[in-house]
Structure formats: C-alpha cells, structure tokens
C-alpha cells in the first residue's frame, strides 16, 4: 500500500486508498465487488483516482452491506425479490421481525438504504402467493417513508457474476459517495459567484 503524503489528493480530500466492504454472513448469494474502483478526481475533470477494495464476511447487527471504515454512515439492506418483500411486509410473524430490523437500520446509520431486486413491473405482478401486489407495494412505500429509507431498485435481466459485480460496484460508489460528500464539495465562493 502506498504512503499518503499531506500534498497528496487522497490526504487533501480525505479519500481512503483502501475500503473494506463488509457483507453480512447471512447473505446467501452476495453481490460481488471489484478489487479496485475509480472515483472522479475532485480537481481535474476526466481524471480518476483508484481506491483498492477488500471484502469480508461479517455478522452485521443491521443491514447487509456497509463499509468497515464508515460503519454507521450508509448501510444497505437487500431484498432479493417480490416474494421476499411480500413475506417481510405482509405475513404477521415476519412483519414484526422486519419492522424491528428497519428500526435498527434507521437508528444505526445516517443513510439507510433498501435495495429492492425487482422492477416496478415485477413488484406489481400478481402471482399464486402475492395475489394483490399493490398492497405489498403500498406497504413497501410506507416502510420507506416511516423508516426514512432511500430506495435502490435493481431490475435484473441477469444475475450472472458479471452483473452482480456491476451492482456491487454501484453499491460501493453509493456508500463511498456518502463518505466523501463533505470533502468533495465545491467551494462556497464558487457557488456564490465570488
């Protein structure tokens, strides 16, 4: 690992040169993550800065994915299908457990996310178990509002390793974006036109 100097862009903008994504041990088919992501240089357009990525399985108290360096900043809870959402939000015994999990997520981090692995068409498709999907969508909307969750919808066409790695890359950028939002801000003097 390279040494970061005070004159370095990593130091000036508090950019970690390594981030560790923690994946909850209960995730059966987790997202995949690249070894390196590239973020935009804060001063130079069209230049990227590499950030190394490490991953580890860890029993998380809430959520399914987070960055070890920022454990209480942005945490992502994953729902793998319309059926999982239906069971979590409609079946009485699971509803109570899910409400507790959402409360822990909301209380445990500043930016709680719910990643829904379904398109709107898939969420609203009636089936043998989910006969009235609009009720499930309504309960999902209530949960997002009640617990202050941001939603990330992933309308899968393929769950191949390559696609799961792209979703993992998106998740990394999302979580790191929250970590860097303050240090990457445009100077107030530029915003005021001064």
The separation between CA 113 and the C-alpha centre of its own chain, rounded to angstroms, equals 6
Residue-wise DSSP of 45-83 = TT-EEEEEEEEEEE--SS-SEEETTBTTTEEEEEE-SHH
**Neighbour count for residue 104 (Cβ, 10 Å):** 18
Q: What is the mean pLDDT of residues 109-118?
A: 96
Residue 42: half-sphere exposure toward Cβ, Cα within 13 Å:
17
Burial-class residue 112 by CB neighbours within 10 Å (0-12, 13-18, 19+).
buried
Helix (H, G, I), strand (E, B) or coil at 163: helix
Which pLDDT belongs to residue 60?
A: 97
Q: What is the mean pLDDT of residues 108-116?
A: 97
* Residue 16 reports pLDDT greater than 60: yes
**Neighbour count for residue 51 (Cβ, 10 Å):** 19
On average, the pLDDT of the chain sits at 91
Tokens representing residue 193 in the block: 């036109």
Contact by Cβ (8 Å): 95, 59: no
The pLDDT confidence band at residue 191, using thresholds 50, 70 and 90, is low
Which pLDDT belongs to residue 187?
A: 57
Q: What is the mean pLDDT of residues 139-161?
A: 93
Which pLDDT belongs to residue 189?
A: 55
63: left (phi over 0), alpha (psi -120 to 50) or beta: left
Which pLDDT belongs to residue 157?
A: 79
CA torsion, ordered 87, 76, 163, 33, to nearest 10 deg? -140
**Tens digits of residue pLDDT in 40-89:** 999 888 999 999 999 999 999 999 999 999 999 999 999 999 999 999 99
Burial-class residue 116 by CB neighbours within 10 Å (0-12, 13-18, 19+).
buried
* Residue 20 reports pLDDT greater than 80: yes
**Tens digits of residue pLDDT in 132-149:** 999 999 999 999 999 999
């Amino acid at each position: 690992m390279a040494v970061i100097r005070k004159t370095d862009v990593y130091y000036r903008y508090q950019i970690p040169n390594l981030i560790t994504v923690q994946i909850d041990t209960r995730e059966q088919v987790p997202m995949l993550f690249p070894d390196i992501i590239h973020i935009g240089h804060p001063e130079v357009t069209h230049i990227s800065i590499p950030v190394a990525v490490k991953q580890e399985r860890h029993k998380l108290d809430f959520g399914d994915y987070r960055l070890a360096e920022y454990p209480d900043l942005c945490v992502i809870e994953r729902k793998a299908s319309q059926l999982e959402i239906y069971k979590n939000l409609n079946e009485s015994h699971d509803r109570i457990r899910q409400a507790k999990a959402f409360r822990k997520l909301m209380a445990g981090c500043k930016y709680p996310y719910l990643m829904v692995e379904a398109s709107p068409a898939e969420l609203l498709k009636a089936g043998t178990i989910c006969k009235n999907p609009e009720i499930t969508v309504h309960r999902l909307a209530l949960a997002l509002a009640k617990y202050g969750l941001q939603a990330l919808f992933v309308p899968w066409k393929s769950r191949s390793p390559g696609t799961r790695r792209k979703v993992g890359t998106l998740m990394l950028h999302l979580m790191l974006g929250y970590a860097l939002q303050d240090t990457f801000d445009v100077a107030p003097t530029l915003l005021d036109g001064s």
